[in-house]
Chains A and B, each alone.
Chain A
Amino acid sequence: GNSVTQMEGPVTLSEEAFLTINCTYTATGYPSLFWYVQYPGEGLQLLLKATKADDKGSNKGFEATYRKETTSFHLEKGSVQVSDSAVYFCALSPFSGGYNKLIFGAGTRLAVHP
């Protein structure tokens, strides 16, 4: 079946530190991959996406590369800010059996301190 596995949090960093949040997936076919962010008290916002192997999604200084050989989509940012504190969800959309039916990872809470 389809599933997403994320590194457990919380992740606690100082401002300007480098961020990596690991995400691996299991899927049949060729899924699209996403990172969503949930700021405190808010709904989910799409952060970035990649729809095929070797695609790199990027937004707001965050990047993730779709690695089919390692079935991974790790989220990175070179220098985090306090405002990046949020919960980050990795998700996939299966190619078959429900194209828009997103499957989410458990979420990783990021706390950035000044």
Chain B
Amino acid sequence: SAVISQKPSRDICQRGTSLTIQCQVDSQVTMMFWYRQQPGQSLTLIATANQGSEATYESGFVIDKFPISRPNLTFSTLTVSNMSPEDSSIYLCSGTGGTNTGELFFGEGSRLTVL
């Protein structure tokens, strides 16, 4: 299984600022995804991070708010732009683990609190 590291693990941010979360995988993975977990809620897929091209966003999420980069097969970033308190969540990076059975492996998440 792939080991996924995220940073920062947590941060407290001011309204109107932006923060970039980094995700590093210890091996090349075909697909990487970013999820959001709002307090006490389940996981919602934000986007698929595509290597060398623009990310594919799910309904309700837009590139201007959540720009994503994926320059290679082991690294991705998610930026949360112009933050508001409603963006306070855990953001999780995930990737395929080299199997063809569909499971994903997750980082430990980045817990953002916006004041």
Contacts and interface: CB of A to CB of B under 8 A. Distances in A.
A104 B92 contact: no
Given A32-B102, A46-B103, A49-B101, A105 B96 contact: no
Interface residues of A, number: 23
A81 interface: no
Interface in B1-24: 1
Contact of B104 (A100, A105, A106): A100
Contact of A44 (B41, B102, B106): B106
A99 B105 CA distance: 14
Contacts of B41: 106-107
Nearest to B44: A104
A78 B81 CA distance: 46
B101 A102 contact: no
Given A89-B43, A100-B33, A43 B92 contact: yes
A101 interface: yes
B106 A43 contact: yes
B106 A101 contact: no
Contacts of A36: 106
B15 to A, nearest CB: 25
B16 to A, nearest CB: 28
A104 B103 contact: no
Contact of B45 (A31, A32, A46, A101): A101
B101 A101 contact: no
A105 B107 CA distance: 19
A104 B42 contact: yes
5 contacts: A43-B109, A44-B43, A103-B45, A104-B43, A106-B41
Given A32-B101, A43-B107, 8 more contacts: A44-B43, A46-B104, A89-B43, A93-B102, A98-B48, A102-B43, A105-B42, A106-B41
Which 6 pairs from chain A and chain B are nearest by CB? A93-B102, A43-B108, A32-B102, A44-B106, A104-B43, A43-B106
